[in-house]
Amino acid sequence: LAIAEEQARAKGQTFQASVPLESSITTDPLLLGRILRELLHNAVKYTPPQGSIRLQIETENRQSHIQVSNSQEIPSEELTRIFERFYRIPKSDPWKEGGTGLGLALVKQMVDQLRGSIEVSSAAGWTTFTLHLPPLPQF
């Protein structure tokens, strides 16, 4: 989170994180870390200066719900393809950021490995990625 906050600040963005201290996520910490890094990196990358990025984590009945939102809307016709390998939204990169189009496909694959789900919604100037993660058995 510190890296994402630093990157957002460098671009003039605001970053807010709501992570309750009493929350306990029982999942693979390495995969979860990679997922969050990719989602937060994309949020910083595609949010304009003076935009906002939010991270919210909630746990309920041992289920984890994580939302990463940013103040940049994705056209609705692109949402169905966003998790495809090598897919990049045409004309959506006004800052000419690079990338391969693999990041979100890998996120989807890692979420599947955790037996979870991920969805994306975009409206009213915001895009939100929501992860639902069940607890993984402890060994």
Q: Average pLDDT per run of 10 along the chain, which is 139 residues long? A: 91 91 79 94 92 93 91 85 72 54 88 95 95 78
CA 116 to mean position of chain CA atoms: 14
pTM for the model stands at: 0.85
pLDDT of residue 136: 73
pLDDT of residue 139: 45
Domain at 2-133, CATH from 3.30.2010.10, 3.30.565.10, 3.40.190.10, 3.40.50.300: 3.30.565.10
Bridge partners for 137 per DSSP: none
pLDDT of residue 128: 97
Its sign, for the CA torsion 127, 73, 103, 112, is positive
Q: Are 13 and 95 in contact (CB under 8 A)?
A: no
* Residue recorded with tokens 């939302």: 67
> Per residue in 38-52, pLDDT tens?
999 999 998 999 999
